[in-house]
Every structure is written in structure tokens, then in C-alpha cells.
Amino acid sequence: MAIQHMSAETRTVIAELIRLREEFVKNRLIFVKGAQMIPILKVLGATDEGLEALKTTGNNLHGDPTLPYRKTRNGRFYYDFEQSKLRRLEFQPFTLSKEEDFVRHDSGQVRRFEEVDEELQENTALQALFAFKALIFHDVSFKQRPKLDYETENFISTLFSIRTVTNKDLVGEPALEGVHSDGVDFTMTTYLNSQNMTSDSAVTFIHDLREQNSLRWHEAKPEYLTGCHQHQDYLDTLLFVDHEKKHSLSPVHAINPDIPSTRDMLIFFTRKPVVEGHVSHPYDSLNPHLSLPLEIPIA
């Protein structure tokens, strides 16, 4: 569409996307408030119905395989930039290792999550979030990880829908692993909802790569702290180059300790396909999902 035929709103969004991409290239990180995200996602195809439905995604989750205070679903998607499409990939188990800067009791353990269902993957707001991430990171140079296939233009993106719960018996930890990286090229986190959560909960701290893995957020060295961000409003979104930074999060605390506190997030892990020798090599199929197919344009 020629720019002279675009609406003023669309031209404004395009200018904002260009600005955000330039900021991302410069700082390797952007934090975008939800009020900024809504018009962007609408131009990228999100409907009012999709935006409203996305808020309650956390009500349809199942228990996490290793963390008792968390409910989750996940799904694998393929950024096929050669054909300008996003496709759903078949189910695979999930693992993250100490070698990828993820140090936790379940590091290297093969985990099986309940799958993202059709209702979520067909949500126009979710699809717009995938498109937003692609527009920001595609063709951006970044520090490469070992044993990933950087010969391909395409990326695998694993989506996690996560609810963290704090109650009388458990303190919900968005990142029990402390200071860490996510073993990917680009991480994006989007806030959906919370209930009975204190205003100082779940702060994301960004650390220099020199910081020691697994330190708790409050144990990290001040000289290695490079920033902090807090998801507080619907669609607040943080996107960063994962292998160029580390991060940690503070716990979820309840305003009323007699009532459970919840925090709902979408997490988008995006990386190149792995090569032989990578811990995830047996679980990195590029086959399409046969029972939950999806193919949408991303450009």
C-alpha cells in the first residue's frame, strides 16, 4: 500500500515502529508500554475482540512440570522469513541447560508442557505480537550462540503462556533461577493480567554478562546492573537480545496474604534452529503441527 493512501493512524504506527527498531538496534533492548502497543497491534491485525480475549489467557493453563507455583502452556512456531510466514510446529519437549546460562534444579531436564491451544494461537492479538517482534528483530545483527544454525534466515519461536501464583504455602517466582539468560537469540515478555499483586512485585533487572549466573536478584552486584523494568499494565512488553544481557526477577507478593496472587505473562523465546551437539537437538523438529495447523503472513 502506497504511503499516501495510508491512514494517519497507520503512518503514525509505522513511524513508531521505525523509532522502536532504531532504539532496539542501539540499546539491544526496548520496553514498550501497553498504551503504545495497542495501536501498533491493531495496525498489525489485532481486533478489539482479540485484545480483550488475550487478557484471560491465564485462566486456561495447566500445572507446570517442575514448578509447583506455576501454570503453563507452550507451543513452537517457525518464523519463515524466506516465505514471510509464521507457521505452527509440532510438539516437542523443552530443555534449557547450564551451558546456556540457565542454572536451576531442573537445568538440562527434559520437560513436557501442555500445548498452546487453538483458541490462543488463532487470537489476532497474539498473532500481531508475533508480527511486532519480527518487525523489530529481523535482520538485526546480534551476538551468536554456539551450536545454532546461523546459515538460515529463519527462526524458531517457543511461546510460553505462564501464570505465576503466590499463596499461603508458596511464593511465586517468575525466575527462580536468579540471574540467567534464556538460551535464545531474542526474548520478548508481554504482561497480560494480575490479581492481588503488590506494586513492587516482579521487577525485571537487567545485568551485564559478567554477572554470575544463579544469583538472586537482590544478591547481584550493583556495578553489573544495567537497568530495571516492571510490567504493570496490559501489554507492557520487554524485548532484548538474550545472549548480550542477563536478567533476573523479584518474586510475586500478595496484597492480601489470605487470597492467592497471580501474574499472567506471555514469553516469546526466539532463536535459530540448533545443530548436532546442542542439548535441544533431539527436540527441534521443523515439521508442521498436524492437529493444530497455523500459517499466517508476517510481512
Percent of the chain beyond pLDDT 90? 97
What's the average model confidence in pLDDT over 169-195?
A: 97
Q: Is residue 274 over pLDDT 70?
A: yes
The grid coordinates listed for 17 are: 515502529
Residue 8 Ramachandran class (φ > 0 left, ψ -120 to 50 alpha, else beta): alpha
Instruction: Work out the burial of residue 112: count CB atoms within 10 Å of its CB; fewer than 13 is exposed, 13-18 middle, 19 or more buried.
Output: exposed
Q: What three-state secondary structure class fits 51?
A: helix
Output the CA–CA distances (angstroms, integers) from residue 180 to 56, 223, 243, 264, 289, in the order listed: 28, 17, 10, 20, 30
Pick from 151, 65, 96, 88: which is nearest to 278 by CA? Answer: 96
The grid coordinates listed for 21 are: 527498531
Which residues lie below 8 Å from residue 15, measured CB to CB, with a gap of 6+?
A: none
The long-range contacts involving 1-9, CB below 8 angstroms and separated by at least 24 positions, are 9/39, 9/43
Arch. (CATH architecture) of 3-297: Sandwich (2.60)
pLDDT band at 3 (very low <50, low <70, confident <90, very high): low
What's the average model confidence in pLDDT over 166-184?
A: 97
The grid coordinates listed for 188 are: 520478548
Q: pLDDT per residue over 221-241, tens digit each?
A: 999 999 999 999 999 999 999
pLDDT band at 202 (very low <50, low <70, confident <90, very high): very high
Q: Is residue 4 over pLDDT 60?
A: no
Contact 79, 152 (CB under 8 A): no
Secondary structure tally for the chain: helices H, strands E: 5, 12
User: 291 phi and psi, to 5 degrees?
Assistant: -90, -15
Whether this prediction's pTM lies above 0.75 is answered by yes
Pick from 122, 123, 266, 75: which is nearest to 188 by CA? Answer: 266
Q: State residue 1's pLDDT score.
A: 44
Q: pLDDT per residue over 83-140, tens digit each?
A: 999 999 999 999 999 999 999 999 999 999 999 999 999 999 999 999 999 999 999 9
Q: Taking the domains of the chain in order of start, what are their residue ranges?
A: 3-297
